[in-house]
């Protein structure tokens, strides 16, 4: 059972991610944000439900759609925003951007511009935790697209062979770019692929925070206790396109509108906790206002922050040379 | 105390000494022990060429055999490095980079820069290079120029047992990803190696032979071929200065340029294919930065622009030979 502070934390994290992404959607349209931006709106329950179980000694590997994982893992929201604006104050000093935002000090090993790139890396993080004996785990978030990459298959096999404290979280959001996962994932189930690698695999409703939280808890406990890796397939649909600017003509008419009305993790969460009487609507609305204010401030500061200096181009290539 | 040991023993000794010194150093690769899950001996192989033999029992839990799954375990080594270990991963043949290049090119090499300087990735990838074993196209390449091209990777190419030990220790202690290239025909080479631990710093070329007439820059096995050619040329009164850069990233440009300032003539010997190679890179460097000193066109002695062939007659033609080096030196020496 989640305590009231935990429930509020979960809601706040999901709301912060949603505000962050909705705001980026608006800001991107103004032409201010450079490069490619892939939004996580609709998927908040996955990052939140998993990362609620993690501490700084646990590592996550993320994807090109990584903002939600960053926020759920505790990354500073202004430093993220500044990074996405390409500012020197960004968490990566403006050298990484949306697709490579990382903060190793909190175990966030990076969004990743390479689909499936995080699988092998998280095996290494889990191996390091195992060697250190600190009960840490590694969580690899990857998408339905990455589920078909060799690196993910290889990583799951290695994690099982080495009995690593690793959790593979497949975020099946319906589409890899413009291709439906119902077409690209042979066999139809990513979760079923776990059995081929000798690990448990479960499928959960990704719009249901509680379902994700419970499945992640089981897998993470198992990993911490030396039981080895697990796979969780989280099923949902993203609310925006593959990247900002995607016209999404591959989607059904009205698809997103319907999702927002019937399958929104935040709405489902709010309905459940208010109905049970654990939290009041007023308490949630206060969290909504706080999240909005946090994002407003992050955007305001990011816009005003300085760009990198020309000399920054040539630094940080090597630790020593 | 120096004594004669082989290139293979020198690498083994470097691993033993660093694993003893630093408990975060681990070793992983295909059959680095050998025999996992099989009914016979554990530590059956010690790597395909026996370099890691014995480490498995000497350092329990720190020698990890892997499935034949390079993308996974090279990436795992990189991820573990980012999380505080110092893995030495063995990629059996550099040719196999093809199946795990993303983890090296887009992950390890980029972390430091794209994370705003806030990452270190102290991973060493040991890998075999070179032709000469009749191993043909997929087990004979050099490819070090490919990694030299990539910012964020350091590339190390020892040619002697002494350098192999000192450079490997330096590689393990370095906080950047290192591609450590071991020429497969050098493992049996003997040379003087101190018993104690020592480092050979990166970016310091070795002038293996001094001479005033022609500068010969060579890497890995080609250093020895250049020496053979220089011996023959010396009998004809031509004195070569043979330089082994030892690391191509960083590259000791000054030693090469100073030598060409003295000799005015340059031959670069590189077992790789010629296009975008270390030969063309060093030739370009000298053409730009020592143009006035040059008395003759730069010669490049390389493999041809073909895959490595299988048949012995073809492979012997493919690999640069002492005779070809001698001919190139003679051409630049006689150029008027």
Q: Work out the average pLDDT over B13-38.
A: 97
Which of B69, B120, B203 lies at the smallest CB-CB distance from A158?
A: B69
Nearest CB to B102; choose among A100, A117, A157: A117
Nearest CA of chain A to the CA of B36: how many Å? 11
Question: What's the number of domains chain A is made of?
Answer: 1
Contact assignment for B75 to A96 by CB distance below 8 Å: no
B139, B149, B239, B305: which one is catalytic? Answer: B139
Residue A244 lies in a domain: yes
* A311 assigned to some structural domain: no
Give the nearest partner residue to A317 out of B61, B69, B151, using CB atoms. Answer: B151
Give yes or no for residue B49 having a pLDDT over 90. Answer: no
Q: Is the pLDDT of residue A32 over 90?
A: no
* Residue A313 counted as domain residue: no
Over residues B178-189, mean pLDDT: 98
**Residue A316: per-residue pLDDT:** 96
With CB atoms and an 8 Å threshold, state whether A102 touches B85.
no
How far does B27 lie from chain A, in Å, by closest CA?
Answer: 12
The pLDDT assigned to A321 comes to 79
Q: What is the mean pLDDT of residues A299-313?
A: 97
Burial of residue B188 (number of CB atoms within 10 Å: 0-12, 13-18, 19+) = exposed
Determine whether the interchain pair B71/A114 forms a contact, defined as Cβ–Cβ distance below 8 Å: no
- Residue A266 structural domain: 4-303
The per-residue pLDDT for B6 is: 98
Nearest residue in A to B252, CA atom: A321
Q: Does residue A96 lie in a domain region?
A: yes
Contacts with A56 from chain B: Cβ below 8 Å: none
Quote the CA–CA distance of B21 and A294 in Å, as a whole number.
Answer: 48
Predicted TM-score of the model (pTM) = 0.96
Please judge whether A95 and B115 are an interchain contact, meaning their C-beta atoms are less than 8 angstroms apart. Answer: yes
Q: Average pLDDT, stretch A13-23?
A: 98
Confidence (pLDDT) at B328: 98
Mean confidence (pLDDT) of chain B: 97
The CATH homologous superfamily of the domain defined by B4-192 = Thiamin diphosphate (ThDP)-binding fold, Pyr/PP domains (3.40.50.970)
pLDDT band, residue A1 (cuts 50/70/90): confident
CA separation (Å) from B316 to A54, B135, B320? 58, 12, 8
Mean pLDDT of all residues in A112-116:
96
pLDDT at B1: 81
Helices (H), B138-291: 144-148, 161-173, 221-235, 253-263, 278-289
Range A1-7 average pLDDT: 96
Mean pLDDT of chain A: 97
Cβ of A317 within 8 Å of Cβ of B77? The answer is: no
Rounded CA-CA distance A293/B177 in Å is 42
Q: Is B239 a catalytic residue?
A: no
Per CB-CB distance under 8 Å, the chain A contacts of B117 are 93, 315-316
Q: State whether residue B81 sits within 8 Å of chain A by CB.
A: yes
Reading the block at residue B128, the tokens are 């075999």
Predicted confidence band at A80 (pLDDT cuts at 50, 70, 90)? very high
CA–CA separation, B99 vs B92, rounded Å?
Answer: 12
pLDDT digit string, tens, across residues A185-228: 999 999 999 999 999 999 999 999 999 999 999 999 999 999 99
Q: Which helix (H) or strand (E) segment is A203 a member of? A: strand A201-205
CATH number at residue A49: 3.40.50.970
**In chain B, which among 14-53 make CB contacts under 8 A with chain A?**
24, 26
Interface test with B, best of A89, A124, A316 (most B CBs within 10 A): A124
Instruction: Answer whether A105 sits within 8 Å of B118, measured CB to CB.
Output: yes
* Domain spans in chain B, listed from the N-terminal domain onward: 4-192, 206-334
B64 contacts A92? CB cut-off 8 A: no
Q: Which two tokens stand for residue A21?
A: 């992404």
Tokens of A234: 């989280």
* Contact state of A318 with B112 under an 8 Å Cβ cutoff: yes
Q: Domain B206-334 class?
A: alpha beta
Please report the ipTM that was assigned to this predicted complex. Answer: 0.94
Contacts of A94 in chain B (CB under 8 A): 116
Nearest C-alpha of chain B: how many angstroms from A155? 5
B281, pLDDT greater than 90: yes
The verdict on B116 touching A (C-beta cutoff 8 Å) is yes
B250 CB near a chain A CB, below 8 Å? yes
- Beta carbons of B330 and B296 less than 8 angstroms apart: no
For chain B positions 130-189, those within 8 Å of chain A (CB to CB) are: 151-152, 154, 174-176
Å from A128 to nearest chain B CA? 5
For the record, the structure tokens of B91 come out as 């990629």
* Interface membership of B80 toward A (CB under 8 Å): yes
A315 occurs within a structural domain = no
Confidence check: pLDDT of B283 > 90: yes
Nearest to A158 among B72, B85, B203 (CB): B72
Angle between the N-to-C axes of helices A44-51 and A4-29, in degrees from 0 to 180, rounded to the nearest 10: 140
A109 pLDDT exceeds 90? yes
CB pairs A-B closer than 8 Å: 157
Count of all residues that appear for chain B in the document: 336
Domains B4-192 and B206-334 share a fold: yes
Instruction: Name the residue facing B73 among A97, A102, A158 (closest C-beta).
Output: A158
């Amino acid at each position: 059972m989640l305590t009231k502070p935990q429930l509020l934390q979960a809601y706040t994290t999901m709301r912060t991610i949603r505000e962050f992404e909705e705001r980026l959607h608006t800001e991107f349209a103004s032409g201010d944000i450079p490069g490619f931006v892939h939004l996580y709106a609709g998927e908040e329950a996955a990052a939140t439900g998993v990362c609620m179980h993690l501490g700084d000694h646990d590592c996550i590997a993320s994807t090109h759609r990584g903002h939600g994982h960053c926020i759920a893992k505790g990354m500073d929201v202004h430093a993220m925003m500044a990074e996405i604006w390409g500012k020197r104050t960004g968490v990566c000093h403006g050298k990484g951007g949306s697709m490579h935002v990382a903060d190793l000090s909190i175990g966030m090993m990076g969004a990743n511009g390479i689909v499936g790139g995080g699988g092998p890396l998280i095996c290494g993080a889990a191996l390091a935790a195992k060697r250190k004996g600190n009960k840490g785990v590694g969580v690899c978030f990857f998408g339905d697209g990455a589920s078909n990459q060799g690196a993910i298959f290889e990583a799951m096999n290695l994690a099982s062979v080495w009995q690593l404290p690793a959790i593979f979280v497949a975020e099946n959001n319906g589409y890899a770019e413009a291709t439906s996962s119902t077409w690209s994932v042979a066999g139809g189930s990513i979760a079923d692929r776990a059995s081929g690698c000798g690990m448990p695999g479960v499928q959960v409703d990704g719009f249901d925070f509680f379902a994700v939280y419970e499945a992640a808890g089981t897998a993470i406990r198992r990993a911490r206790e030396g039981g080895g890796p697990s796979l969780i397939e989280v099923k949902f649909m993203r609310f925006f396109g593959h990247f900002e600017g995607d016209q999404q003509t591959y989607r059904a008419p009205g698809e997103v509108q319907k999702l927002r009305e019937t399958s929104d993790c935040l709405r489902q969460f709010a309905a459940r906790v208010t109905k049970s009487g654990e939290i009041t609507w007023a308490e949630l609305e206060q969290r909504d206002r706080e999240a909005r204010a946090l994002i407003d401030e992050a955007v305001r500061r990011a816009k005003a922050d300085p760009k990198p200096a020309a000399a920054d181009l040539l630094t940080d290539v090597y630790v020593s040379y | 105390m120096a004594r004669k040991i082989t290139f293979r023993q020198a690498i083994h000794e470097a691993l033993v000494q660093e694993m003893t010194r630093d408990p975060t150093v681990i070793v992983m690769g295909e059959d680095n022990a050998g025999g996992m899950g099989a009914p016979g001996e554990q530590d059956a192989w010690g790597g395909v060429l026996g370099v890691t033999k014995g480490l498995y029992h000497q350092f329990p839990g720190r020698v990890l055999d892997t499935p034949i799954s390079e993308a996974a375990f090279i990436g795992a080594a990189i991820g573990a490095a980012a999380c505080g270990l110092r893995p030495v991963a063995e990629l059996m043949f550099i040719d196999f980079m093809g199946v795990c290049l993303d983890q090296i090119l887009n992950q390890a090499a980029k972390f430091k820069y794209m994370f705003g300087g806030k990452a270190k990735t102290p991973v060493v990838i040991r890998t075999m290079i070179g032709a000469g074993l009749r191993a043909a196209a997929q087990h004979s390449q050099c490819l070090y120029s490919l990694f030299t091209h990539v910012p964020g990777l350091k590339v190390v190419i020892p040619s002697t047992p002494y350098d192999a030990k000192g450079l490997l220790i330096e590689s393990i202690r370095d906080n950047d990803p290192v591609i450590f290239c071991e020429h497969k025909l050098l493992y049996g080479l003997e040379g003087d190696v101190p018993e104690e631990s020592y480092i050979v710093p990166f970016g310091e070329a070795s002038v293996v032979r001094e001479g005033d007439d022609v500068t010969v820059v060579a890497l890995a096995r080609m250093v020895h071929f250049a020496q053979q050619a220089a011996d023959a040329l010396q009998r004809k009164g031509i004195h070569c200065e043979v330089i082994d850069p030892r690391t191509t990233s960083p590259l000791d440009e000054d030693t090469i340029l100073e030598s060409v300032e003295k000799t005015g003539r340059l031959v670069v010997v590189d077992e790789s294919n010629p296009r975008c190679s270390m030969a063309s890179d060093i030739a370009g460097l000298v053409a730009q930065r020592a143009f006035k000193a040059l008395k003759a066109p730069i010669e490049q002695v390389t493999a041809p622009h073909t895959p490595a062939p299988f048949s012995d007659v073809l492979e012997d033609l493919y690999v640069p030979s002492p005779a070809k080096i001698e001919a190139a030196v003679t051409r630049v020496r006689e150029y008027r």
